[in-house]
Structures are given as C-alpha cells and as structure tokens.
Amino acid sequence: MIFSSITFLFYFLPIVLLIYYLSPKKYKNIVLLISSLIFYFYGEPKYTLLMIFSIVSTYIFGILINKYKKNSKLFLEFSIVVSVGILIYFKYFNFIIENINLWITNKIDFFYVALPIGISFYTFQMISYLVDVYRGQAKVQKNFVKLAMYISLFPQLIAGPILRYSTIEEQIENRTHSFEKFAIGVRRFIIGLGKKVLIANVLGELTEIFLQSNNLSILYYWIYGIAVMLQIYFDFSGYSDMAIGLGKMFGFDFLENFNYPYIATSITDFWRRWHISLSSWFRDYVYIFLGGNRVSKIKWLRNILIVWLLTGLWHGAAWNFIIWGLFFGILLIIEKLFLNNFLKIIPKFLARIYVLFIVMISFIIFNGENFNQIIKNIEGLIGIGNIPIISKESIYYFKSYFIVILVGIIGSTPLLKNITNTTKFNKINNILEPIFLFLILLLCTSYIIDGSFNPFLYFRF
C-alpha cells in the first residue's frame, strides 16, 4: 500500500484516524501497532512475520543489553550481526552470487530472494535503538507494544525518514493531540502528495520516455539529467513530507529529512540538507564508531570512503549504487582537502552551479541500469558521439514538460516559502491556502484514478 493510492487515501487512513481518535489514550499505541502491521501485511504478507521476528529479537536484545551490563557489548554485537545478517541475505544475496558467478566456471545455482519493502529503514531503526540503549542515550523499552509500534510505525515504515528512538522516546509515552497540529499534518501531507503525484510522477514519465528514445540530442540529454534530479528529489522529499504530516496527525513530531538541498554551495552542504536522517545515522553509528576525523589522515580518509561505500550499498544491491556512493565519498575528500576554502570565496551562484552539475551527474549514475548506459548519458551532456544539439523530439518534449520542470525548479528552492511567509501575504494565505490544498488533493486524486505512472523510487531500498 502506498500513500498515493486510493486504498490508502480514502479507505485505510480515514478508518485508522477514526478508530485512533475514538480510542482512549492507553489504547492509542495498540491501535497504531495493529494498523501498521495491517499496512505492512497489505504490501508484504509473506514478510510480515520476518518483521515481527526482527521486532521480537530487538526487544529481547534491548532487555539483555540493559540488564547484563558486563556482557552488554557482546549482546549488542550479536544483535547487530542478526539484524545486518538478515538485511544482507534479503537485500544482497542475489547480487553477491551473481558477481561470484562472473568469476567461476562452475556456476552456483540459486533462487532469487525477493527484497522485503522497507527492510533497510526498519533495520537501521532497530540498530540505532540498541546502540542508544547500550550507550545510555535511551532508556530500554520494556513495553513490547510501544517498541513494536516505534519500529513498525506505518507513516515512515517503508521509506523513512529513519526515526531515532531517542528523538521520539517521550512521544511514545506522551504526545499532544490538537486540531491545530492535525491541520498542520494534513497540510504537510497534501503538499507531499502534490510533490509526488503532480511533479515526481510526471517527470518519471519523461525519464522513461527518454530511456526508450532513439532520437537523442544534447538538449534531450540535459532535459533527462534535470528531470532525473527533480524526480528523485520530489519523489523522496514528497514521501518525507507525507510521513511527517501523518506523524503530526497522530501526535508525533518527526525531524525534517530535507532542507532545500539544491541551494547547497558545496557537496558537504548538500549532504547536510539531503536525506538528513540517513546521513546523520551513518555519521553517528558508523563514521564516529570508526574514529571519525580523530585519527590519522589516512584512517580518516578510509573512514569517509567506508561510510560512502556503505551509503551506496544501502541504496541498492547494484554496481551503479556502489559507484554513486564512492563518487560522493571521493568528492567529499577532495572538498575537505582542497576545495572548501575556494568554494567559500567564489560567488555563491557559481558554487551552486558546481553542486547542481555534480548532483545531476550523480543521479544519472544512480538511475543507470548498466555502466554503458551511464557513460552514454554523461557523454551526451557534452555532445560526445556525434549527436545533434537539438532534435524535433527533444523540442517537443521540452515544450510538453516545460511547465512541470519550471514548477519543479522553483519548488526545490525556498523562494515561494520566503514570499508567502511575509506579513503582507498572511491574510491572503489564510483565505487562499485551503482552496489551494483542496485543488491539489483533487488533482492528485484525478491523476491516481487515471492510473498514471505512480512508483515510489525508495521502495526498493
């Protein structure tokens, strides 16, 4: 079940909200737990038991880590081996065997293992909980329902943001519900839905058309590069907006996951703004564990590359994701060693152009099906391969998708937010915003009923 579906919008969510708000306070977490399990079962019936097993093992290991202090490190290490082992099997087994078979004569016969939706997200949440309990940064949760609800909470279960137990520990026990908070949640959810359905999905259609086309040109390659950037941003930030909005409807305050990454002035700045919950997770649970920058320069550089290799692998079991992760790792090293001071003194618009070009290249890598396609799409940006500057097809699709691309470019910056948040626009906002939100919901519903292109990119992670 995805958020941008009729089933979720007009059946599941209204029923869950009704039951939740009619239930006494002591039953609200139970309602959320049961709802989350039903939500997951709807999309992954055969892997629901796997998630329940993971929750039970996390619950037991948390109690053991807290109770037996002398052996707490051993319990933590074993729990991580179990969680990561399950993740490796379901996410990377096929990839590992396929690559081994490339190098051996007697091929290994194997069956393909299907990837459970959301396993990367809830695995990281379980690990962060156990590590925080071990470090004394969070209290062990002895109530199974509350811990299971935290891990399986449906608003963020299948595509994040990654919730730290320590950040919502209090909210699990006590959270505030108000009409104002609910209204803010609805507003945020509808904006996220609009990002997903009206921008990301439409640009996704354009990228698919490009990949099927044989009438390519330099302009077409640039249209594709920009469309991929905007599609991935609006797909994932749209989902995060919906998750944060749903959280508020149920009384939770999730941390922000995006902060206008396309206005960044360096790659370092970009990763402080993009998928914040993931980059901070790797920083706190991998980078610092390896020693961070408090080691020799060689080990420090090694730590950066390990983190970004793992970041790439986290996104998917394919070589393009590994290349994508190492690409960013190498660029971050170059910035830290040489470029940062230069980027601080040049005009900001030049620094932003540098970031946007690098990010566009990175997402061409990210979106590539194979190495040859990636190289071809990058070469096409600069005209390698004797291709024309423009073609009739590129002009046609440029005109057809120009409005969506323009809206995407403006929407990926804080320009509209800065204009509408002024005192001058407050009264106008109070009148026009409900109408605007209603129209977005109406348009999104029309697109969904029409059966338009509607995948979530981050479901494969």
Task: Indicate the residue type of 293.
Answer: N
Q: Could you tell me how far CA 34 lies from the centroid of its own chain?
A: 24
CA-to-CA distance for 44 and 34, rounded, in angstroms?
15
**Which residues does 329 contact at the CB level (< 8 Å), separation at least 6?**
304, 305, 307, 308, 309, 311
Q: Which of 177, 195, 359, 193 is nearest to 263 (CA)?
A: 359
SS3 label, residue 286: helix
CA-to-CA distance for 191 and 4, rounded, in angstroms?
12
Known catalytic residue at 275: no
CA-to-CA distance for 328 and 334, rounded, in angstroms?
10
Q: E strands along 294-346, which residues?
A: none
Other beta carbons within 10 angstroms of residue 399's beta carbon come to: 9
Instruction: Please pick, among 28, 91, 248, 315, the residue that the annotation labels catalytic.
Output: 315
Q: Which of 377, 355, 379, 356 is nearest to 366 (CA)?
A: 377
CA-to-CA distance for 270 and 212, rounded, in angstroms?
31
Tell the burial category of 297 from Cβ atoms under 10 Å away from its Cβ (0-12, 13-18, 19+). exposed
CA-to-CA distance for 11 and 271, rounded, in angstroms?
37
Largest CA distance in the chain: 73
Q: Which of 201, 197, 193 is nearest to 243 (CA)?
A: 193
Would the CA dihedral through 125, 126, 131, 137 be positive or negative?
positive
- Read off the DSSP letter of residue 367: T
The two three-digit tokens of residue 409, written as one number = 């470019």
Active site residues: 315
